Amino acid sequence: MKPASFDYVVPSTVAEAVQALGGTDRTAQVLAGGQSLILEMHLQRIRPQLVVDINRIPELDGMRVDGDELRVGALVRHATFESADAVPGPLGTLLSRAVVNIAHPPIRSRGTMAGSFGWAHPASEWCAIGVALDATVEVTGPDGARSLPARDYFLGPYRTARRPQELITAVRLPLLGENTGVGFVEHRRTHFCFAQVAVAAALTVTDGVISDARIGLVNSADRPLRARAAEQVLIGADFAPLPEGPRLPDGHPFARAGRAAAQEDATPIAEPYADAEYKRQAIAVLVGRTLTEAATDLRSRLAPRQGGPR
Ligand SMILES: Cc1cc2nc3c(=O)[nH]c(=O)nc-3n(C[C@H](O)[C@H](O)[C@H](O)COP(=O)(O)OP(=O)(O)OC[C@H]3O[C@@H](n4cnc5c(N)ncnc54)[C@H](O)[C@@H]3O)c2cc1C
């Protein structure tokens, strides 16, 4: 199918883009990477009367460390994060492990992190990481700039607290310290499908005890989810060596956290190839695996400093 007809503008500043979005009573869409929008327009599931192409706005490009946060401009493409060195510390590792699960290279070379926040698909890897880490979404509209905490930003599938006249200018993510280990594990039907379920985790250890745990669940509810019940199982637990063998014992904190995530945090929505019970089982297993990956990551990070793994 072809898209319905629409007007098209290419502003060169944020102010011009906001003016275009705010100065119309027509339905408007922002064109960033176009990797969701163009497809939806071709299917005529979205029929904007105006498309505001932000790709020629230099101030939206680039990312930088700003204090203890990474500020990712609205034109930074997914592919930027494929190298763990693009971002300092464990945050770079987490983003690089997650990004390879987003579609395939041509889509990653155009699609943007901010576009994923704009689209707000419950199966978005970036959005679950944003919720888990307490990211902030920067928006600018006719009434000025606002900072929206990710925990309040997602309202449901494709629904957010951003007003239609507002432009996302950046996403801010907190940097993670060297005593944090990270993991990301995804389950999907084929390489090019969205996740049936995926899990992001960041475990922080202080004096041999888990002092902070962040767990983000992908496609486990009608929006990206932070698994707070699972996190509570972990906080205060000893950061003990992992048991031998392919399966975690039922009583291990990571296994208990997996069950808490599946039973208390998640409210999975059935899909054609994954009903809600299947998803709950997958969440329980994947949380355990992701925490194991995070623990292994942290041990490898600590080993050079301590002369060997603890
Ligand atoms: C085959 C295929 C597989 C995919 N697999 C995955 C996957 O596994 N995981 C995943 O997360 N994504 C996946 N995607 C989606 C892809 O990651 C998109 O890049 C992403 O959803 C949107 O980013 P974009 O920059 O392309 O945004 P666009 O397509 O340009 O825009 C998407 C929406 O966000 C809004 N928007 C974009 N930027 C802004 C902004 N700065 N301010 C306000 N609103 C904005 C637009 O108005 C539009 O409604 C897939 C896409 C395809 C085609």
* Residue pLDDT, tens place only, 136-189: 999 999 999 999 999 999 999 999 999 999 999 999 999 999 999 999 999 998
At residue 307, does pLDDT exceed 90? no
> Does the beta carbon of 116 lie inside 6 Å of ligand 1?
yes
CATH number corresponding to 180-306: 3.30.390.50
Q: Whose CA is nearest to atom 14 of ligand 1?
A: 103
Dist. CA 64 → ligand 1 center (Å): 22
Pick the CATH number of 63-174 from 3.40.350.10, 3.90.1150.10, 3.30.465.10, 3.40.1260.10: 3.30.465.10
DSSP letter string, the chain: -PPPP-EEE--SSHHHHHHHHHS-SS-EEEESS-TTHHHHHHTTS---SEEEE-TT-GGG--EEEETTEEEEETT-BGGGGGSGGGSSHHHHHHHHHHHTTSS-HHHHHH-BHHHHHHH--TT-HHHHHHHHHT-EEEEEETTEEEEEEHHHHEEETTEES--TT-EEEEEEEE---TTEEEEEEEE-SSTTSPPSEEEEEEEEEETTEEEEEEEEEESSSSS-EE-HHHHHHHTT-B-PPPPSSSS--TTSHHHHHHHHIIIII-----BTTB-HHHHHHHHHHHHHHHHHHHHHHHHHHHHHHHTS--
Mutate to test the pocket of ligand 1, among 14, 30, 140 (most ligand atoms within 8 A of CB): 30
Q: Where are the domains of the chain?
A: 7-53, 63-174, 180-306
Where residue 308 falls among pLDDT bands split at 50, 70, 90? very low
State the closest ligand 1 atom to the C-alpha of 139, by its place in the atom list counted from 1. Answer: 42
State the closest ligand 1 atom to the C-alpha of 195, by its place in the atom list counted from 1. Answer: 8
Where residue 78 falls among pLDDT bands split at 50, 70, 90? very high
Dist. CA 115 → ligand 1 center (Å): 5
Per-residue pLDDT of 216-257, as tens digits, reads 999 999 999 999 999 999 999 999 888 888 889 999 999 999
State the closest ligand 1 atom to the C-alpha of 104, by its place in the atom list counted from 1. Answer: 3
Dist. CA 14 → ligand 1 center (Å): 19
**What percent of the chain has pLDDT above 90?**
90
Question: Could you tell me which CATH class the domain 7-53 is placed in?
Answer: alpha beta
Where residue 310 falls among pLDDT bands split at 50, 70, 90? very low
> Does the beta carbon of 74 lie inside 6 Å of ligand 1?
yes
pLDDT for residue 309: 43
Per-residue pLDDT of 249-289, as tens digits, reads 999 999 999 999 999 999 999 998 899 999 999 999 999 99
Dist. CA 113 → ligand 1 center (Å): 8
> Does the beta carbon of 167 lie inside 6 Å of ligand 1?
yes
At residue 135, does pLDDT exceed 90? yes
